[in-house]
Amino acid sequence: MVKIDLNLKCVVFDMMVGGHDISYCYQCGRCNDDCPVSARWGSRYNPKDIVLFSALGYKEALFAAVKRDSFVLWGCTACETCDEVCPSGIHITDIICLLKNAAVAAGAAPAYYYDSSKAIMDAGMAIPVQAAIEKRRETLGIGASPKIPVDEVKTIMQATGADKLIEIGGTKK
């Protein structure tokens, strides 16, 4: 039986601003037709379905699909093309962003998001400085990589609760 998450429904309906209510979606499919990710990956990615599942509160169904293939949600590049073409003016990219945040908080995001976030907290950057990169910088005459204030990065991540989200991701592995 499909479970309805009323909280997700409320959050998604509440976040729509300027009258671009998600209930105005009539499933025309224009967002999907013009989405560059969908054009490349076909049935693996469909913003129209994401909007429908959000409006119906099918969070678990959506997250279960994400578990089978993270591309279902994380394939979105946030290019906002769908927002521009939606005849109902729905802010689809915001909905997808909200769902991504919910997935992170539930430990349902792909492992590499948590791993990259942890690398940023530990080293101030997702890709730590490497000898090969430094050598290339020297060749290009742009000097050594700037020093990252790792403590400041860590403080910001702790203040925003990002450290807790990274922990949640770690426990779900």
Q: Kindly list the residues in this chain that would bind ligand SF4 in the complex (CB under 6 A).
A: 25-31, 35, 37, 47-48, 51, 76-82, 86-88, 90, 92-93, 96
Q: In angstroms, what CA-CA distances link 130 with 122, 145, 147? A: 15, 10, 13
Record the tokens describing residue 87, joined without a space. 């005849």
Alpha-carbon gap, residue 120 to 113, rounded angstroms: 11
Nearest to ligand SF4 of 51, 66 (CB atom)? 51
Please tell me the number of Cα atoms within 13 Å of 156 on its side-chain side.
Answer: 9
Pair of tokens at residue 146? 């700037």
Nearer to ligand SF4, 29 or 161 (CB): 29
Task: Give min distance, CB of 9 to ligand SF4, in A.
Answer: 16
Phi-psi sector, 161: left (phi>0), alpha (psi -120 to 50), beta: left
Q: In whole angstroms, how close is the CB of 69 to ligand SF4 at the nearest point? A: 15
Q: Which is nearer to ligand SF4, 85 or 125 (CB)?
A: 85
CB of 71 to ligand SF4, least distance (A): 11
Of 79 and 127, CB closest to ligand SF4: 79
Residue position matching structure tokens 């013009």: 34
Q: Least Å distance between CB 133 and ligand SF4?
A: 29
